[in-house]
């Protein structure tokens, strides 16, 4: 097994990014094989349980109330409707069901319904994950009591670039929520987004921050920005596909035992790029036609790709 380290310096992470591509891929594949079956991919389904109307100003997000993106603010879904979606996801091959709500932070009355959703999804034999914004310690404890397996709260980018993307909450706010989640005994799902106009140093800073947390996130989603008309980042430059693959590989090497998720942006990726990401150590995808409000490849397309690569869903 690869040595788990929590003291990755930026110089060390920078050196990994600078490796020749074949060498970087080889090292990442070695680490991956030491910790996982390289032919298995964990399948998750993501449902927006409360869409739009968010008071935050995340420059990438179509759900921010201040941007005109065509996303309408909706109320929290009924528990029964969410459980029906979870049952369909399980029937379609998902082993984890993730629920996202466009809140700055949940109100306690909303948490009652979310806890009921978690309990119901858990009873189906699915892993549970939610992303609800910032959490207080007591709220994290309530979610743990409901049986929550994972809480998603991304750092998004490097500490230095963060204020270019979000001004309505601080980087420390995000770290505080992660501390509350970890203290409650819930697994952490935390990664970031690339292709937001950041530079290589910001990708280095993001990975170094994640890999230097006291305990690595059990799940690390790496998202490629999906440009949405109406958001400030709708006209940002595209990131080169190989730079994205490099980010996946460096995440794998620095966080050997974490599940690295190939998340948003797959709709625009070629099958060859996705295959390189799997070779680089990605071993989880979101499955289904939509990621909250943006397009995602259909199930048939994903199953065909995995079959073509001789890969299979993780049990």
Active site residue: 142, 169, 182, 189, which one? 189
Answer yes or no: 190 catalytic. no
Model confidence over 23-78: pLDDT tens digits? Answer: 999 999 999 999 999 999 988 888 888 887 777 778 777 777 666 666 776 788 88
pLDDT of res. 68: 62
pLDDT of res. 69: 66
Strands 96-101 and 150-152: unpaired
Q: Cα separation of 153 and 12, whole Å?
A: 25
Contacts of 262 (CB under 8 A, 6+ apart): 222, 248, 274, 277, 278, 282, 284, 285
Active site residue: 58, 115, 190, 277, which one? 58
Answer yes or no: 109 catalytic. no
Mean pLDDT of the chain: 87
Q: Cα separation of 124 and 102, whole Å?
A: 25
**Burial (CB count within 10 angstroms: exposed 0-12, middle 13-18, buried 19+), residue 220:** buried
Answer yes or no: 261 catalytic. yes
Strands 290-291 and 294-295: antiparallel
Cβ atoms of 265 and 228 closer than 8 Å: no
- Which neighbouring-strand residues pair with 295? 290
Answer yes or no: 54 catalytic. yes
Active site residue: 54, 115, 190, 277, which one? 54
Q: Cα separation of 142 and 119, whole Å?
A: 12
255: tokens are: 């966080």
pLDDT of res. 264: 75
Answer yes or no: 115 catalytic. no
pLDDT of res. 270: 86
Cα angle for residues 303, 61, 99 (degrees, 5° grid): 50
Query: Is pTM, for the whole model, over 0.75?
Result: yes
Contacts of 239 (CB under 8 A, 6+ apart): 194, 195, 224, 225
Active site residue: 129, 169, 190, 246, which one? 129
Active site residue: 61, 115, 190, 277, which one? 61
pLDDT of res. 291: 46
Q: Give the mean pLDDT per block of 10 residues along the chain (315 residues).
A: 81 97 97 95 85 77 69 81 89 85 86 93 92 92 94 92 88 92 94 91 95 93 81 74 95 96 81 93 75 55 86 84
pLDDT of res. 43: 82
Taking the CA atoms of the chain, what radius of gyration do you get in angstroms? 18
Active site residue: 203, 261, 266, 277, which one? 261
Active site residue: 96, 98, 190, 277, which one? 98
Question: Could you tell me the end-to-end alpha-carbon distance of the chain, in angstroms, rounded to an integer?
Answer: 21
């Amino acid at each position: 097994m690869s040595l788990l380290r929590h003291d990755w310096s930026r110089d060390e992470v920078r050196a990994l990014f600078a490796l020749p591509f074949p060498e970087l891929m080889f090292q990442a594949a070695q680490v991956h094989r030491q910790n996982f079956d390289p032919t298995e991919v964990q399948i998750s389904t993501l449902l927006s349980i409360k869409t739009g109307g968010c008071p935050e100003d995340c420059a990438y997000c179509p759900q921010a109330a201040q941007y005109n993106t065509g996303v309408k603010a909706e109320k929290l879904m009924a528990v029964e409707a969410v459980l029906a979606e979870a049952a369909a996801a399980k029937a379609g091959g998902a082993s984890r069901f993730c629920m996202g709500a466009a809140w700055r932070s949940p109100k306690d009355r909303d948490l009652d319904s979310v806890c009921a959703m978690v309990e119901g999804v858990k009873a189906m034999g699915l892993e549970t994950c939610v992303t609800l914004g910032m959490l207080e310690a007591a709220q994290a404890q309530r979610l743990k009591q409901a049986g929550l397996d994972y809480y998603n709260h991304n750092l998004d980018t490097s500490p230095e670039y963060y204020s270019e993307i979000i001004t309505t909450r601080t980087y420390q706010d995000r770290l505080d929520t992660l501390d509350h989640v970890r203290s409650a005994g819930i697994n952490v799902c935390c990664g970031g987004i690339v292709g937001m106009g950041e530079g290589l140093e910001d990708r280095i800073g993001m990975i170094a921050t994640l890999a230097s947390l006291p305990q690595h996130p059990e799940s690390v989603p790496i998202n490629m920005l999906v440009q949405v008309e109406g958001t400030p980042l709708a006209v940002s430059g595209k990131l080169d596909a190989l730079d994205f693959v490099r980010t996946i590989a460096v995440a794998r090497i620095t966080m050997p035992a974490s599940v690295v998720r190939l998340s948003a942006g797959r709709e625009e990726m070629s099958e060859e790029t996705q295959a390189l990401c799997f070779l680089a150590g990605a071993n989880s995808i979101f499955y289904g036609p939509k990621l909250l409000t943006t397009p995602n490849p259909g199930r048939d397309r994903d199953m065909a790709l995995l079959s073509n690569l001789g890969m299979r869903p993780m049990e």
